Amino acid sequence: MLTAGPALTAGPGLGVGLGIARAEPGTSPRAGSGSDSRAGSGSGSGDRPREGHAEDLGSVTTQIATTRARIDELGHQLSVAAEQYNAERIRLAEAERTATTARQRLSAADAAVRTASDRHRGLATSAYRSGGFEQLSILLTGDPRTALDRAGAVNALSRRQRAAESDLRLARHDQTEAKQAADEALAGRQHVVDSLSEQRRGIEASAAEQHQLLDDLIDRQAQLEREAREREAAALRARQAAEAAAAAEAARQAALERERLTREAGLVATAGSTFAAAPVAPAPPPPTGGSGGAARAVQEAHAQLGKPYVWGAEGPDSFDCSGLSQWVWGKAGVAIPHYTGDQWTSGRRVSRAELIPGDLVFFGADLYHVGIYIGDGKMIHAPRTGEVVRIENVWWSSFQGGVRPGA
């Protein structure tokens, strides 16, 4: 995880405080943290995707967005840290120059003190060696005043030398303190620069790990999308198989019905020849709501493609949704009302899995729309004002149910 580094003070007068986050060894920020995603949040609860864990595609997409935002934030932090590092390097160079100047001045002060000390010692030695003979000579010549004057001059010169040497030693002391302060400032600046460099490396490492996490999440997203497509394809194949089975069953039932009618017609003919005087009742017409009627309804629906939607219209040149379904099933021999609510009760209810071509498909709890199912998950319908009769995928998200008219 990322933690806020402590404030760093680089020697007297520097006062440099660092709020740059640093990565602790062996840890790194994770997407999906429940707290502030910036460095220094002290939290990093998100985990990389793991095999065997059920994951929602929306959750992974959210993690990707969070990780990208985290990378952007780390990039901002890295820019700030880099500029602070550059600024401190300039101050470090200034501190190095100050320390160099202080060392040079201290060296010059040392040399001046040594020179003054040498002169003082030379003067004292010379006075000591020659002073006794000169005083004896003065006494022998009988001129004590001259001797006193000369002795006073020597003493005065010696005092001045000692005073000069003392001043130089004080100056040397000041230069020593200045050098120490400059060295401390230099060390402080160097510590700040080193710390900033370490912080920058930590942020770069965190950013690199976030990039790796982003790559992992993108791979996981692609995998989940691929699995979703595979599930959708499997569901489509299952629906198509169910539709094919339902169509085959409808065809079988139609064949049985034709066979029954044929047998009944034969019996009627035989009875007519045996009992000529007896009136023969005509055979009932085949129901038009079966597979034959459905096929005619689908054929008629295709014939209306491209005709405009007009509110309340029921053909032949324009339609609304229930007007179109009324028209095509009317052509198939089944009369149904021009109203979705009544059409909903005009035949046998069928589920999505039971739908076959020709069935009516209804939408919304209030049955606001109806279309004619033509198989393969598609329908023909009159959508809305400004559009035309067309083929479109069934609106499964609002699918309410199906009805087989006449059944």
Residue 286's φ and ψ, nearest 5 degrees, are -65, 140
- Using only C-alpha atoms, the chain has a radius of gyration, in whole angstroms, of 53
Quote the CA–CA distance of 323 and 313 in Å, as a whole number: 6
Place of tokens 């160079």: 93
CA distance 181 to 18: 23
Tell me whether residue 338 is one of the annotated catalytic residues: no
Encoded tokens for 323:
């007007």
Cα separation, 86 vs 39, whole angstroms: 21
Tokens of 52: 């065997």
Where b means 16+ CB within 10 Å and e means fewer, 264-273 reads eeeeeeeeee
Q: How far apart are CA 225 and CA 236, in angstroms?
A: 16
Is residue 321 part of the annotated active site? The answer reads: yes
- Other residues' Cβ atoms within 10 Å of the Cβ of residue 107: 12
Contacts 24+ apart (CB under 8 A), 309-315: 309/382, 309/383, 309/384, 309/385, 309/386, 309/387, 309/388, 309/389, 310/385, 311/385, 314/338
The one-character DSSP state at 229 is H
Task: Calculate helix-pair angle for 57-141, 144-274, nearest 10 degrees.
Answer: 180
CA distances in angstroms from 193 to 18, 225, 377, listed in the order given: 11, 48, 68
User: C-alpha angle 300/302/307, rounded to 5°?
Assistant: 100
Active site residue 120: no
Nearest in space to 368 (alpha carbons), one of 398, 347, 396, 393: 398
Distances (CA, A) of 220 to 45, 198, 343: 19, 33, 47
List 53, 76, 120, 381, catalytic entry: 381
Residues with Cβ < 8 Å from 334, sequence gap 6 or more? 288, 289, 293, 297, 346, 347, 405, 406
Query: Which of the residues 53, 120, 211, 321 is marked catalytic?
Result: 321
In this structure, the strands spanning 360-363 and 390-393 are: unpaired
Which residues are the active-site residues? 321, 369, 381
